[in-house]
Structure 1
Amino acid sequence: MLTQLPSLLLTLLLLLTTPLLTHAQVANETITPENSVNAKISPGNKKYEYIGCYAETTLNNGTNGLRALNAGKTESVDTLTVASCLDFCSADGYEFAGAEYTKECWCSHFLSSIAEKLDDSACDLACIGNTTQICGGALKLSVYTLKSSKKGAAGKVARTAPVGSILALGIAMGVLLCLA
């Protein structure tokens, strides 16, 4: 039974993360960097402020497809604006909101520590719902954080999910499955 525990834990982890990985970007998007030249970075709203352009982590080795803003919620809509994305994330109190690929909104309590901060110009696609605003790029996120997330002069908080907590949850679930 103990020799099967790693296999059971891996299976459990895959079952828990598969729904997060099924969302894919569509290649036939009509908004391009060329027709996004007049789009500008939105500073945010009363609750959220812009902290930069970040690379997605799905293609990084060792991430198993996990995203820069993971373990939260997402939507893909043909009317996305920065304001609608921030409202979507704010409704459930998410600390981070990210607009990506013109019409995707990602919400999370954590920004992955391996998400590379890029030059703002790397986020070069306009929002599909407001072409005067930037909504990330191909595998790039325009990231916003709650203004209450500041820690004094240290600036914004960019946390990652505690690995120990995730591992403990996985082990507990595996043990429960073995006992069932």
Structure 2
Amino acid sequence: MGLVDDNFTTAFINLNRLEVDSFSEFLELILVFLSSPKEAQQFISKLEKYAGSLNIPFSAIQLIAKAVLLFFRGCLQKSLSITQIAEDLSNLGLNEDKTRRLTQNWSHSFGIISNVNQQRVLTIHQLTDLEWRFGVTTGNSLASRVGKIFLQMKFKIFTGEIISIEMSIEQFYSFLHEMEKARASIEYLI
């Protein structure tokens, strides 16, 4: 996964120190949360109980949980294979048995977590309307800007929120290129 922060590595070293049963229980908590991320408050409550049952400060368990969640989200974003995940976990200091358990549980839960992640991404800021206008700058304190083409866009989001932006024609073409890439990615997924 590339270079990692010392706190991230420390979190995985601390994860490796958990007994096998405690590790499995922790992993189950993480995977259940990734399968239903709307239940954040329940997840935090369960983590607090878990930390209490092991007599470990909640802040320590919270750091480990953040690191593992970040790791799994990175695995999703980069579409890592089980082999790549196992290699990264080994590089982070997780022993072979725990790496095997984690990758087995991940592969078992991957379909559900992947679907939840896709739904989450697709439901954020659903676009309901778009207005756009081209214009030409006729007056400006900078003489070099007079006669420049610009674009004003108004996005209406599902929640009723309106987002307005103005960009130069160069910025517009860059934006258009990114939108075409996004469309191609979505078509590939469907």
TM band (smaller chain): under 0.3
Give the structure, 1 or 2, with the largest relative contact order (CA under 8 Å, sep 6 or more).
1
TM-score for the superposition, normalised by structure 1: 0.23
Structure index of larger Rg: 2
TM-score for the superposition, normalised by structure 2: 0.23
Higher strand share: 1
